Structure 1
Amino acid sequence: MVQALDEQQIKQILNYDDAQRASYFIKEVVANDEVWILKDEHGCVMLNTEDEDCVPVWPHKEFAQAWATDEWQACQPEAISLSKWFSHWSHGLADDELALVVFPSQNEQGLVFYPDELEQELKNKQKNQSAKGQR
């Protein structure tokens, strides 16, 4: 069971820079075995950079929910298991030529990953976790 974050933890994490948020995202997604997106009846929320169309992803429901305001107020957070992420989402996003913005800040800043890059980061973290567990 994923433990809910308290307000102080959320505030502290939101003050992380892009790299710290990305690192936190990788760690938490592997620990909790889920990626969070925002969806409505049309699909998932999209952000645009100068070069890429991106799907924002978050490590916890609370962070995704915080984005469900203004034009996205009808959106709902949705958890995607890592196994489903690896089997469907990574390939589907790559096929659609979409990138991911990992744990964007409220001003839409975050590190951009291509689906295969994020999958590799997550799988590397999984390997490291299981190696530590076997010692």
Structure 2
Amino acid sequence: MSYILTDADKTAAQTLRDDERFNHFVNKVCEHDEIWILTDEHGCMMLTSDDEEDCIPVWPHADYAKEWAVDDWSQCKPEAITLKVWQARWVPGMEDDELLVAVFPTTDATGVLVEPRELQDAFTRKQKLGRHN
């Protein structure tokens, strides 16, 4: 179940720099054990970066994903993926398909583009730190 996102929290997160939004994303995903994507009847929404890299955008909460579901994406709906499923199925699948992850894009920024394993490593580091606190 997703956490409650206030308008103030949403506004604050969206004004963060890309690297800060990346860290916010990792923290929230580890805390709530879910990653949000957009899907339609054809599957997961994908983007092509300015560098012609195919990527899957991900968000820490359904409300951020919903903000992307406009215009060409208006048929898309937010869908949660547990961190466990992401790690077991999505990371290897994205690596096999040579896809990147667009971490926490906003309506005016692509987000941080990373390899799936790099994002996985960030989750692992965060989880290890969390156990030591």
Give the shorter-chain TM-score range.
over 0.9
Deviations 1:54-93 (A, max 9, x none): 1000001110111111111110100000110111000000
Corresponding residue number in structure 1 for 2:92: 91
Q: Distance in 1 between matches of 2:5 and 2:29?
A: 14
Given that 2:34 and 2:60 are in contact with CA atoms closer than 8 Å, whether structure 1 keeps it comes out as: yes
Give distance in 2, aligned partners of 1:126 and 1:16.
Answer: 22
In the alignment, the residues of structure 2 paired with residue 2 and residue 55 of structure 1 have an alpha-carbon distance, to the nearest angstrom, of 20
Instruction: Name 2:37's counterpart in structure 1.
Output: 37
Q: How does 1:83-122 map to 2 (within 5 A)?
A: 83-122=84-123
**Gap runs ≥5 in structure 1:** none
Unaligned stretches of 5+ in structure 2? none
Kindly state the Cα deviation for residue 51 of structure 1 after the two structures are TM-superposed: 4.1
Q: What residue identity is the alignment partner of 1:105? A: T
* Structure-to-structure mapping, 1:15-94, within 5 angstroms: 15-49=15-49, 50-94=51-95
> Which runs of at least 4 in structure 1 moved beyond 2 Å after TM superposition?
none
Using the size of structure 2 for normalisation, the TM-score is: 0.95
The number of aligned residues is 132
Alpha-carbon separation, structure 1, partners of 2:52 and 2:9:
33
Q: Structure 1: which amino acid aligns with 2:113?
A: V
* Residues 77 and 2 of structure 1, relative CA distance in 2, 3 Å threshold: closer
Q: State percent identity of aligned pairs.
A: 41
* Structure 1: distance between partners of 2:123 and 2:66: 23
**Could you tell me how far apart the structure 1 residues matched to 2:4 and 2:92 are?**
30
- Mapped to 2, the partners of 1:107 and 1:14 lie a distance apart of 10
Q: Distance in 2 between matches of 1:40 and 1:109?
A: 20
Cα RMSD for the two superposed structures: 1.1
2:35 pairs with 1:9: no
Deviation at 1:14, TM superposition (A): 0.8
Deviates more, 1:103-112 or 1:33-42: 103-112
State the one-letter code of the partner of 2:38: L
Could you tell me the TM-score, scaled by structure 1's length? 0.93
Give the distance between the partners of 1:47 and 1:108, measured in 2 at CA.
12
